[in-house]
Structure formats: structure tokens, C-alpha cells
């Protein structure tokens, strides 16, 4: 199964990828994490990429996912080509990557979108600023909806976020018939679960988000 982690900057994608991989490995599952190619590129080059350099980065991200899928039963993608496409369109007004990115996104078994309930933290060239998180989050959801790609939003801190993601993964595993040794994931010792079974309901999601942020409706 290929799991895609999408979301605005500083929303815990990398931490969640590591936590998911550790949980699966602890259950003797075969799992690989595909890290973010853009981060690697920026660290190597010491700058952000130009518009013409965006597509090769997106293609390399997906090539690595395919290579990992040939080696492991579970692949956790710490971002996909879709995030490259979204930032390329936002920063350079270039939407040329969308067709490739959305076609690739449809190949994932589960898409998780990390919620905005974590504080923004600076990270060098990788991050623009907290003001872009809501617009990027909206663009991610709009792109997935237009492409007919279903997704689940992951909220929570630490173990809560991990538990949320694991429940979503189990839901997909059941619907896809992955009930063998590499299918359902044990949730033992995960103390937090959703309070209802309507996690895809926008009103429910809004309630969860605002309650975690200490707000009232």
C-alpha cells in the first residue's frame, strides 16, 4: 500500500511519516519512507528551484516512490508531486505540473492531508511563512476534489496524530481487502480515537479543528 502525506508547510508531514514507519516496523511490517526530494534539492543547491526545475523534481519524487513500492509492502511518501505542482502554480503562476501530479496522486492507496493545528516553525529555504498555510491547504483540498481523489485530514498532537492516521489506514485496508499479515494494523497502545465515525463530514472536521485550537463555534 502506498500512503501519501500532503499538507501545507510545517504541518508535521515528516514527523508523521517517521512515526508511521516506526509503528509499522514495530509490527514486523515491511515499510519504506520516501523523503522529500525538494528539501534534498534545496539543501544541495543552496537555493530554491527555478520554474523549469520544478518538473524534474516532481518526477524524481514519484520515481523514488515507485522504486520503494517494488521493495516494501508499505510505502510512506513524505509529500508527492502534487505539492510541487501546487507551489509551482502559487509561486510562478505555472500550472503545467498539475496533470502529471494528479495522475500520479490517483495511484496512491490513501492520501492523508495534515491539518493546520500545529504551530508554524521556520525551516530555512523550505518554508515561505505562516501566511501561506491556509491558502496552500485550500489548494491541496481543491486539487484533490477536482481530481476525484478521496482524502482524510489528520489532526492531533504527537500520538493523537499518529492514531488518527492509523485509523484512516485501517479503514482503507479493510475496504481494499488487505486483511492479511500486511493489511490491518494493530492499534494497541494508541490512546486516542475519533469521537465519532463522521470524520469526513466538514462540520465534524471544523469542530475538531476549532476545539483543538481552543476556540468555540
DSSP string covering 1-61: -EEEEE-STTSSHHHHHHHHHHHHHHTT--EEEE--HHHHHHHHHTSPPPGGGHHHHHHHH
pLDDT at 189: 45
Higher pLDDT, 58 or 215: 58
Distances (CA, A) of 24 to 107, 160, 203: 21, 16, 31
Please give the biggest Cα pair distance in the chain.
Answer: 47
Backbone φ and ψ of 196, nearest 5° = -155, 175
Q: How confident is the model at residue 135 (pLDDT cuts 50, 70, 90)?
A: very high
Per-residue model confidence as pLDDT tens digits over 71-124: 999 999 999 999 999 999 998 999 999 999 999 999 999 999 999 988 878 765
Q: Are 90 and 78 in contact (CB under 8 A)?
A: no
Which residues lie across from 4 on neighbouring strands? 77, 111
pLDDT at 185: 54
Q: Could you confirm whether domain 2-212 is CATH 3.30.420.310?
A: no
Q: Are 48 and 125 in contact (CB under 8 A)?
A: yes
Q: Which of 141, 114, 196 is nearest to 207 (CA)?
A: 196
Q: How confident is the model at residue 141 (pLDDT cuts 50, 70, 90)?
A: very high
Tell me how far apart the terminal alpha carbons of the chain are, to the nearest angstrom: 37
Amino acid at each position: 500500500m502506498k500512503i501519501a502525506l500532503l499538507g501545507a508547510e510545517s504541518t508535521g508531514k515528516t514527523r508523521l511519516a517517521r512515526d508511521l514507519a516506526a509503528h509499522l516496523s514495530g509490527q514486523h511490517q515491511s515499510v519504506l519512507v520516501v523523503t522529500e526530494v525538494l528539501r534534498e534539492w534545496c539543501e544541495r543547491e543552496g537555493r530554491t528551484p527555478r520554474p523549469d526545475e520544478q518538473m524534474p523534481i516532481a518526477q524524481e519524487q514519484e520515481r523514488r516512490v515507485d522504486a520503494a513500492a517494488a521493495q516494501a509492502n508499505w510505502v510512506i511518501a513524505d509529500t508527492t508531486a502534487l505539492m510541487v505542482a501546487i507551489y509551482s502554480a502559487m509561486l510562478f503562476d505555472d500550472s503545467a505540473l498539475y496533470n502529471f501530479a494528479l495522475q500520479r496522486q490517483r495511484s496512491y492507496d490513501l492520501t492523508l492531508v495534515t491539518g493546520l493545528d500545529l504551530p508554524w516553525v521556520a525551516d530555512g529555504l523550505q518554508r515561505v511563512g505562516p501566511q501561506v498555510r491556509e491558502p496552500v491547504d485550500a489548494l491541496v483540498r481543491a486539487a484533490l476534489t477536482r481530481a476525484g481523489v478521496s482524502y482524510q485530514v489528520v489532526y492531533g498532537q504527537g500520538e493523537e496524530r499518529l492514531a488518527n492516521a492509523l485509523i484512516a489506514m485501517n479503514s482503507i485496508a479493510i475496504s481494499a481487502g488487505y486483511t492479511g499479515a500486511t493489511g490491518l494494523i494493530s492499534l494497541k497502545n494508541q490512546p486516542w480515537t475519533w469521537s465519532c465515525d463522521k470524520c469526513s463530514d466538514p462540520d465534524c472536521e471544523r469542530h475538531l479543528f476549532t476545539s483543538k485550537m481552543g476556540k468555540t463555534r
